[in-house]
Amino acid sequence: MGKPLIIVESPAKARTIEKYLKGKYKVTASQGHVVDLPKKGLAVDIENDFEPQYEIRPDKRKIVKLLKDEAKKADAVYLASDPDREGEAIAWHVNSIVSAINPNTSRVLFNEITPKGIMAGLSSPRELDVNLFNAQQARRILDRLVGYQLSPLLWEKIKRGLSAGRVQSVVLRIIVDREREILAFDPEEYWNLSVDYETPEGKTFTAKLSKIDGKKAKVKNAEEAQGLLDRLIAARHEIIRVERKEVRRNPSPPFITSTLLQDAFRKYRYGNRRTMALAQRLYEGVELGRDKEPVGLITYMRTDSVRVSEDAISATRDFISSTLGDKYLPEKPRRFKVKKGAQDAHEAIRPTDVTRTPEEVERLLKEAGVKDAAALSRLYRLIWRRFVASQMAPAVFDQTTVDVDAAGLTMSARGNILKFRGYLAQYEVPEEKNGQESEDDKKKRLPHLEEGWILSLLQAHKEQKFTQPPPRYSEASIVKEMQERGIGRPSTYHSIIPTLLDREYVAKDEGKLKPTDLGVAVTDLLVQWFPDIMDVSFTAQMEGRLDEIEEGRIQWRSVLRDFYEKFSSKLETAKSQATNLKGMSRETDYVCEKCGAPMVLRWNKGYYIACSNYPECRTTKPAELLPDGTVRIIEPEVSSEKCPKCSSPMEVRTGRFGRYLKCTSESCGTTMPYVLPYTCPKCGQGRLSERRTRKGKQFLGCTEYPNCDFMTWDVPVNEKCQVCGWDYMLKPRRGRKYCPKCRLESEKQ
């Protein structure tokens, strides 16, 4: 017999493991699932108690043959797919293929792709976990039942080619509900009052109005604000309270999947899909140094547990002590509490070797010429710093709170002085600070103050404000919402929003998620006829039931029976009674401006009103159906641009790839990119317009192209350059604003 065979999912992981084992094992990859439900048909025998009808995937037949050939030569087979439900299902199906050829098979788990992690896994083989597999199988069948039976309903009632998903549709509902909150929001006016003070020692600070005659300050209009401002100006300002106390701030736990996605988006604007792809590479192994040796840099990245191994904690404390000193170590190691409902099979996301610093990894990645070296370095730095910081001492602040009495008006200020950096020496402190106090920190400081001091009023301010609606979700905040509501799992967080974007159920508006008319229509139909499936708490309960299957507490077929009994009944009712949007022709209060006939509300990817005298009159206008059932015409924004062909006005339209301009003349219909009011810094003749690459990434280019080739990925800011007087600056995604004119001049020199 030959060498033992290890079967993993990805070729990258296979190369890393084979390198570590120095030729003693043969390592190959299944490249994901080799067996699945076929793409065509339901492939679930409902009458036979939901028996799945699996088949070898057509694109994996060559791989299956290779696995069989290798298993035949091996003296033992180790199934080492990822340590989660999907990985267990892959191992289960691979086992069903190779065990007939080589019955000496067992399951092993690698939490980290390091020599230590691999040997630990190989030394503790186990049987396949039928409960873990059944949890994945139940989830797969549930998704197939929902997707393959709801999708035809959407084709019939809304638009052919649509699809529904058990978790994705609920996330879509959350986004739609937030949009309706925003539309229904009624802003309320309020005013802020503040005062600039000078102390008897000549120091200055600012305080804000907090109380009016002992009650919480609420200033609703300009008249009240002006009356209070006059009262402040005429008053005597005396410090009546100074409170000083020491405040300690503890570090956050190391990353789990959801928090990693949130911080990668917040700090680097990495989308969920990109973050997980980079993390997968760091886990499976990337090439380092001139020898290009593959090394697994982080532990498994699909986890919702903050647990950390004792070995890792000990090594991290030793590292902190040797590099920063014992004063940065808490007396006892930090152990974070795992939240209820979290799957505790894996550790938190951490570096496999804490002594491998981000600076070293960045250098070695560059030496190896690794693709996306900069992005991999950033994500590793984020994970490494968060983990090291999690075992460090708290940051300590001196917090001062001061209250000033001014004729019954209480003006308050609070300031923090960083006394000891603690964990902030590693995490959430930009590198360029170099341990120095930032400008924001300086603004928060208060001068020396004493009770009884009389302060000089330098200037009083009033500022009108309005309450703001809740913000739209970003890719990061929707993941946080999913985690808090208990829907989805670490293995699915990253894929849901890209799926909704691909289906055109949501679009990005300045980086935030906005539902399209299509997404709203799909949501409304599903909420009306399938309230359980679209209910957030029901979806969270279903995730809990899948967890119970994994724990062996309930039987997977019983979960499917309970679900399908209600679902199938509602499906039949919806087929016969749900409104068919494709055939919608609902009367409105609008009249056609061309022929005077009534306008009717119709549907095609979105709502619009059309002349009822069609086909004699083809007048249409974009419209929207408001939550209260009324119809409103969406008046297009008219641009200052003129059509280059017929000189008619151009109006702003929004399409799949963002804004564009279209000629208002029906006989012309010319389109062109959306033009911004910024002159090109290179040629001085054209202006900047929104364009997209072949892959859909937006940039700004000159309207005089191809005569002028200026382009930028950065965003214009209405701020004049103080050096050359250029009308605007450019702000990159990361980094400081700069003047495009000055940069071009310096490049010429």
Residues 51 and 76 in one domain: yes
Position 648 in a domain: no
Whether 19 and 64 map to the same domain: the answer is yes
**One domain for residues 731 and 681:** yes
pLDDT value at residue 655: 67
- Tell me, yes or no, whether 658 lies in a domain: no
pLDDT for 432 beyond 50: no
Q: Which of 199, 204, 209 is nearest to 403 (CA)?
A: 209
Q: Would the pTM count as exceeding 0.85?
A: no
User: Is residue 650 one of the residues assigned to a domain?
Assistant: no
For residue 648, give Cα distances in angstroms to 57, 307, 665, 686, 710: 56, 65, 6, 20, 28
Could you tell me where the DSSP H helices lie in 467-516? 475-485, 493-502
Examine the domain organization and report whether 31 and 121 are in the same domain: yes
pLDDT at 434: 39
pLDDT computed for residue 656 by the predictor: 62
The pLDDT value recorded for residue 340 is 67
pLDDT digits (tens, 9 = 90+) for 174-207: 999 999 999 889 999 999 999 999 999 999 999 9
* pLDDT tens per residue across span 458-493: 999 999 999 999 999 999 899 999 988 888 888 888
For residue 685 the two structure tokens come to 């003749």
Pairing outcome for strands 649-655 and 658-663: antiparallel
pLDDT for the residue 584: 81
Residue 503 has pLDDT above 60, yes or no: yes
Q: How many domains are contained in the chain?
A: 6
Query: Please, is 91 exposed, middle or buried when counting C-beta atoms within 10 Å of its C-beta (0-12, 13-18, 19+)?
Result: buried
93, amino acid identity:
H
pLDDT at 430: 40
Closest of 78, 57, 62, 87 to residue 4, by C-alpha = 78
pLDDT tens sequence across 707-742:
999 999 998 988 888 888 899 999 887 677 899 998
pLDDT at 360 over 80: yes
Q: Any idea how long the chain is?
A: 749
Distance (Å, rounded) from C-alpha 298 to C-alpha 117? 11
- Per-residue pLDDT, averaged over 263-275, amounts to 90
In eight-state DSSP terms, residue 42 is -
| Residue 694 pLDDT exceeds 80 | no
pLDDT value of residue 677: 86
Task: Give the residue numbers annotated as catalytic, written as ranges.
Answer: 300
Q: Do 379 and 402 have their domain in common?
A: no
Residue 627 has pLDDT above 80, yes or no: no
- Give the β-pairing of 286-288 and 293-295: antiparallel
Q: Where are the beta strands (DSSP E) in 620-722?
A: 620-625, 631-633, 637-642, 649-655, 658-663, 671-673, 675-679, 687-692, 698-702, 711-712, 715-717
- Do 274 and 384 reside in the same domain of the chain? yes
Give yes or no for residue 496 having a pLDDT over 60: yes
Residue 441 pLDDT exceeds 90: no
Q: How far is CA 301 from the centre of its chain?
A: 16
Amino acid at position 103, single letter: P
User: For residue range 652-686, what is the model confidence (pLDDT) as tens digits?
Assistant: 877 666 678 888 887 887 888 888 889 999 999 88
Q: Could you say which of 332, 363, 390 is where a domain stops?
A: 390
Question: How many Cβ atoms are within 10 Å of 651's Cβ, its own excluded?
Answer: 15
Q: Which contiguous run of DSSP H or E holds residue 364?
A: helix 358-368
What pLDDT is stored for residue 428 in this prediction? Answer: 62
Which of 263, 258, 290 shows the shortest CA–CA distance to 379?
A: 263
pLDDT tens-place string over residues 331-357: 999 999 877 656 556 789 999 999 999
Q: For residue 62, give the CATH number of its domain.
A: 3.40.50.140
| Cβ 382 vs Cβ 263: under 8 Å | yes
**CATH at 165:** 1.10.460.10
Q: How confident is the model at residue 442 (pLDDT cuts 50, 70, 90)?
A: low
Q: How far is the C-alpha of 271 from the C-alpha of 219, rounded, in Å?
A: 41
Among candidate residues 577, 606, 641, the one where a domain is terminated: 577
Residues of the chain above pLDDT 70, percent: 95
pLDDT in tens, 570-580: 999 999 888 88
Bigger pLDDT: 433 vs 471 = 471
Q: Cβ–Cβ contacts within 10 Å for residue 241, how many?
A: 13
Does one domain contain both 271 and 381? yes
The Cα–Cα gap between 395 and 330 comes to: 11
Give 93 or 346, the one with higher predicted confidence: 93
For residues 262 and 378, membership in a common domain is answered with yes
Phi (first) and psi of residue 370, to 5 degrees: -70, 135
Lowest-confidence pick of 121-130, 443-452, 652-661: 652-661
For residue 675, the model assigns a pLDDT of 85
Residues 329, 275, single domain; the answer is yes
**CA proximity to 538, closest of 550, 527, 549:** 527
Both 360 and 429 in one domain: the answer is: no
**What does the angle CA 526 – CA 532 – CA 533 come to, to the nearest 5 degrees?**
55
The verdict on residue 647 lying in a domain is no
Q: Please measure the distance between the N-terminal and C-terminal CA atoms of the chain and give it in whole angstroms.
A: 70
What is the SS3 assignment for 611?
strand
Predicted confidence (pLDDT) per residue in 67-92, tens digit = 999 999 999 999 999 888 899 999 99
Q: At what angle do helices 493-502 and 168-184 cross, to 10 degrees?
A: 70
Q: What 3 state SS string does 220-268 have?
A: CCHHHHHHHHHHHHHCCEEEEEEEEEEEEECCCCCECHHHHHHHHHHHH
pLDDT of amino acid 437? 46
The mean per-residue pLDDT over the stretch 218-237 comes to: 95
The residue segments making up the domain with residue 453 are 189-250+395-466
For residue 23, is pLDDT > 60? yes
Section 365-370 average pLDDT: 92
pLDDT score at 444? 65
Q: Looking at the domain assignment, is residue 645 inside a domain?
A: no
| CA-to-CA separations, 354 to 136, 333, 386, in angstroms, rounded | 33, 15, 11
Residue 638 lies in a domain: no
Provide the angle, in degrees to the nearest 10, between the axes of the packed helices 272-284 and 11-20.
20
Residues contacting residue 553 through CB under 8 Å, at least 6 positions apart: none
Question: Which of 390, 424, 444 finishes a domain?
Answer: 390
**Has residue 649 been placed in a domain?**
no
Domain for residue 79, yes or no?
Answer: yes
Residue (of 617, 620, 589) closest to 602 by Cα position: 620
pLDDT, mean of residues 410-419: 92
Q: How much is the pLDDT for 728?
A: 93
Same-domain pairing of 477 and 564: yes
**Residue 286 near residue 376 (C-beta atoms within 8 A):** yes
Mean pLDDT across the stretch 606-630? 85
- State residue 630's pLDDT score: 83
> Are 562 and 611 members of one domain?
no
